[in-house]
């Protein structure tokens, strides 16, 4: 999902100018989140033979696989993984009957700790399960109701923590309060394998394009495709009775400008709320994203971490009311990363009004 700080302003900027200098001056931060766990084994990146940890920000979009380079990729990515693995861990994985209640407090807290990486890199057909009543296509009105910098404005100042950048970003974010954004969302049923039934998941390709275009206010996406990882890949999906068009966890966005974005799921979980006869559901999804220019620029890629917290309450068969909280976190490439102590540096709260559409 898009955030005000990491997403809307950046996309609008991209449609106004392709100037590298313009991007740098605004210290663009990307919203969607990248998984750099053992999935790098199947997403091995291009790197120089003498790669060091400092060059890990250049590991992006290359699918070549060679033993030594794969090992170097894991070592370089380990800079971030060490810190992620020490974070407080939420219950994750398949839908349960208690995590829905546990997550309620995260909608109201000002200080949030980033969930630990929990996606199993060898799962093959892992995905975030959503409640059954979301299956179908929905007309959604998403309205920003609150914007906060819970541990200080400076943390919104880009990789170098510049207060001037933070002030501009926060002011632009606040200017979008109470402005409804209209988009469509689609959720589909996929097989979990023999004797395991099926679950409802989001159509990531469709939903990603809808969100990006809606919050940019114009068409900025050229294409959205799925990418194989160890945790979620086409071969494993098909082997478990899935279809060629079933959603995977990882998406690659090609923008109309000279830019691309790759987003991985790092953690997820959800469950029905107690005492609601399965009419209310809460869940979360952690993501890591890589954003890079695709021209001849030598500007290094941008890494960002975020968390989406969802609440969906079924009013009737065709109406759902919900809430969305988007939390932004710093990565090891940010100057203030250690000062942030794995706490959310930005929070955006939305209301969701959803009406079912005819399929």
Region class of 335: left (phi > 0), else alpha (psi between -120 and 50), else beta: alpha
pLDDT of residue 240: 86
Q: How confident is the model at residue 289 (pLDDT cuts 50, 70, 90)?
A: very high
pLDDT tens-digit readout, 233-288: 999 999 888 999 999 999 999 999 999 999 999 999 999 998 777 899 999 999 99
CA-nearest of 39, 10, 22, 76 to 263 is 39
Higher pLDDT, 159 or 350: 350
With 80 as the cut, is the pLDDT of residue 294 above it? yes
pLDDT of residue 359: 67
Helices H / strands E in the chain, number of each: 8, 10
* For range 341-346, the mean pLDDT: 96
Query: What are the extents of the domains in the chain?
Result: 4-357
With 60 as the cut, is the pLDDT of residue 19 above it? no
163-174 helix and 9-16 helix, angle to the nearest 10 degrees: 100
Task: Quote the pTM value.
Answer: 0.74
C-alpha 153/C-alpha 166 separation (Å) is 6
pLDDT of residue 59: 34
* Token pair for 153: 């404005």
Higher pLDDT, 186 or 69: 186
* For range 315-337, the mean pLDDT: 95
pLDDT tens-digit readout, 81-138: 222 333 434 433 334 447 888 899 999 999 999 998 888 776 788 899 999 999 999 9
* For range 60-67, the mean pLDDT: 34
């Amino acid at each position: 999902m898009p955030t005000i700080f990491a997403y809307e302003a950046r996309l609008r900027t991209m449609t106004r100018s392709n100037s590298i200098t313009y991007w740098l001056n605004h210290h663009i931060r990307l919203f969607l989140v990248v998984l750099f766990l053992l999935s790098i084994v199947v997403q091995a990146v291009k790197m120089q033979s003498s790669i060091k940890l400092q060059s890990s920000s250049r590991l992006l979009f290359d699918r070549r696989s060679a033993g030594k380079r794969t090992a170097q990729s894991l070592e370089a990515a380990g800079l971030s993984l060490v810190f992620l693995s020490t974070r407080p861990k939420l219950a994750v994985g398949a839908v349960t009957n208690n995590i829905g209640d546990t997550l309620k407090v995260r909608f109201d807290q000002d200080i949030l700790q980033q969930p630990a990486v929990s996606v199993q890199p060898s799962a093959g057909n892992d995905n975030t399960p959503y409640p059954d009543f979301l299956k179908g296509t929905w007309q959604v009105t998403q309205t920003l109701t609150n914007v906060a910098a819970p541990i200080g404005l400076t943390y919104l100042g880009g990789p170098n923590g510049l207060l001037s950048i933070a002030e501009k970003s926060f002011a632009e974010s606040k200017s979008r309060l109470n402005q409804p954004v209209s988009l469509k969302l689609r959720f589909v049923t996929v097989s979990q394998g023999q004797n395991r039934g099926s679950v409802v998941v989001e159509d990531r390709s469709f939903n990603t394009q809808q969100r990006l275009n809606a919050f940019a206010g114009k068409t900025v996406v050229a294409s959205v495709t799925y990418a194989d990882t160890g945790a979620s890949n086409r071969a494993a999906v098909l082997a478990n009775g899935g279809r060629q068009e079933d959603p995977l966890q990882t998406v690659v966005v090609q923008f109309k400008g000279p830019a691309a974005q790759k987003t991985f799921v790092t953690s997820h979980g959800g469950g029905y709320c107690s005492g609601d006869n399965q009419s209310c559901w809460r869940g979360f999804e952690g993501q890591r994203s890589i954003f890079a220019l695709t021209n001849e620029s030598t500007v290094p890629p941008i890494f960002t971490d975020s968390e989406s917290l969802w609440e969906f309450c079924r009013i009737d068969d065709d109406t759902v009311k919900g809430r969305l909280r988007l939390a932004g976190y710093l990565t090891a490439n940010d100057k203030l990363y250690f000062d942030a102590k794995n706490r959310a540096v930005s929070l955006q709260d939305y209301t969701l009004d959803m009406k079912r559409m005819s399929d």
